[in-house]
Structure 1
Amino acid sequence: MKFAVIGGTGLIGSKVVEKLNAAGHEAVPHSQSTGVDVITGQGLEEAVAGADVVVNLTNSPTFDDASPAFFQTSMDNLLAAGQKGGVGHVVILSIVGAEQVPQLDYYRAKVLQEDILKAGPIPYSIVRATQFMEFVDAVLSWTTEGDTVRLPATPIQPIAAQDVADAVAEVAAGTPLNGTLNIGGPDVFTLDELGRVTLNARSDGRTVVTDDAAGMFAAVRGDVLTTKGDARIAPTHYADWLS
């Protein structure tokens, strides 16, 4: 099968391309660096022409109120190009529980992206993942003041980027779900606990203070960002990933 992986040079995209090619498929990465722009549409028709499946892993450059416009325009352009090119399956990556955190512009934008795909003309699959292990350092940096990191006690279920990529590649190579697969890591931590575990493992001298008003995840209520029901649980434990 031939795959066009839009956003195929990023953290997840590069791993998806590698996984699909290792399985004997033809997966081609596309991004702004290869001349494909999902906002202007430049190079998009050429990128998806002849592809059986398009995997869209592009992301908004900001997490603020500009993000809905990014996903609206990029999805409109991608679906138009895909329909013209005879693409039979479109896959996107989203966030577990996104619709339950409408207070966050970016989460609301990801739900918009899902809705556009569901209403579009091409069979589709949505993979929803929990928070990436690779992003924990960035989350800590957002609320660090000197030697103190302030974090809320929000339940988080970290998943390794490789496990996410493996799931995306598997779904992309299969029959369109016309629905959603939820995936999450094998362990649930509160975010403040996750911060302490991370800093201790790295002999980082900063101290985590529990503050339920600190940072982006303060807007999250309860365990909405963790998997429920028939979700797939990935194999990589956070402690093993850290080491």
Structure 2
Amino acid sequence: MKIVVIGGTGVLGSKVVDKLRDHGDEAVPASPRTGINTLTGEGLADALTGADVVVDVSNSPSFDDDPAMEFFTKSTANLEAAAKAAGVRHYVAVSIVGADQLPESGYLRAKVAQEKLIQESDIPYSIVRATQFAEFTGAITASMTVGDEVRVPDALIQPIAVDNVAAEVARVAEGEPLDDIENIGGPEKISFEQMARAVLAREGEAKTVVVDPHAGYFGTPLSLNSLVTA
């Protein structure tokens, strides 16, 4: 089976490619690094020729509201058109658990717009929403650090290893289209306070963790279960 992985040279995409190849699939990594650009359409037609499945794990180079919306809507439209022309029979995309519950986040609004484009296309699809990557908990903690304090929201987080996300995306790509959204998360739901304390202990940092009801997730207010699976 030929499976083209958009974003296939990145952290998640490269693991998806490896897992598909381990299963005997013809997995093709596609990204600007390999001459394929979904935002401009460059190289898409050639890359998708003969493809059975396309997997989109690409990400916007900017997390700002307008650039993220432009990236996800324009690149998805280009990819859908190329996939339809190539006769691709399964369109798989990775999104974020709780994306549709946090409209104050411009980035998540862009992910929801991407999901909607995929759902409304004529191509059978599967959307895999994942919780936050365990490998990024350090960066998340750093984003909430002000001086010697880490100010965290009173909410839960469910970190999942990138390797586990890749395994599930590969499994879904090799199966029949879900025509639905699947949510996946890590093995444990923990508080942001627990996450931050674990990160600080791992890094040997002596900072104070403060649970702040006004703290958000990259500026977005959270409820207790905004970022975890049901």
Class of the TM-score when normalised by the shorter of the 2 chains: over 0.9
Matched-pair contact (CA < 8 Å) for 2:141–2:199? no
Aligned residue runs from structure 1 range 130-141, under 5 A:
130-141=131-142
In the TM superposition, residue 68 of structure 1 has moved relative to its aligned partner by 1.4
Matched-pair contact (CA < 8 Å) for 2:99–2:111? yes
Structure 2: where are the runs of 5+ without partners? none
Matched-pair contact (CA < 8 Å) for 2:93–2:127? yes
Matched-pair contact (CA < 8 Å) for 1:142–1:215? no
* CA deviation vs aligned residue, 1:177-236 (integer Å, no higher than 9, x gap): 1111110111111112210122123322222222232343551122121111xxxxxxxx
Q: Aligned partners of 2:31, 2:2: CA distance in 1, in Å? A: 17
The code of the aligned residue for 2:82 comes to A
Look up the match of 2:73: 72
* CA deviation vs aligned residue, 1:76-117 (integer Å, no higher than 9, x gap): 000000011111111000111110100101111111111100
The answer to whether residue 46 in structure 2 is matched with residue 46 in structure 1 is: yes
The alignment partner of 1:120 has SS state of coil
Look up the match of 2:84: 83
Look up the match of 1:178: 179
* CA deviation vs aligned residue, 1:128-163 (integer Å, no higher than 9, x gap): 111111111111121222322221122111111000
Q: Aligned partners of 1:215, 1:206: CA distance in 2, in Å? A: 19
The code of the aligned residue for 1:219 comes to P
Q: Aligned partners of 1:216, 1:96: CA distance in 2, in Å? A: 14
In the TM superposition, residue 62 of structure 1 has moved relative to its aligned partner by 1.7
The code of the aligned residue for 2:103 comes to P
The alignment partner of 2:64 has SS state of coil
Q: Aligned partners of 1:207, 1:45: CA distance in 2, in Å? A: 52
Matched-pair contact (CA < 8 Å) for 1:56–1:93? yes
TM-score by length of 2: 0.95
Matched-pair contact (CA < 8 Å) for 2:154–2:224? no
Look up the match of 1:219: 221
Q: Aligned partners of 1:212, 1:70: CA distance in 2, in Å? A: 32
Q: Aligned partners of 2:190, 2:135: CA distance in 1, in Å? A: 15
CA RMSD of aligned residues (A): 1.2
Look up the match of 2:63: 63
Structure 1: where are the runs of 5+ without partners? 229-243
More displaced stretch, 45-54 vs 163-172: 45-54
Aligned residue runs from structure 1 range 153-232, under 5 A:
153-216=154-217, 218-228=220-230
Count of residues in correspondence between the two structures: 228
Q: Aligned partners of 2:169, 2:3: CA distance in 1, in Å? A: 12
Report % sequence identity.
50
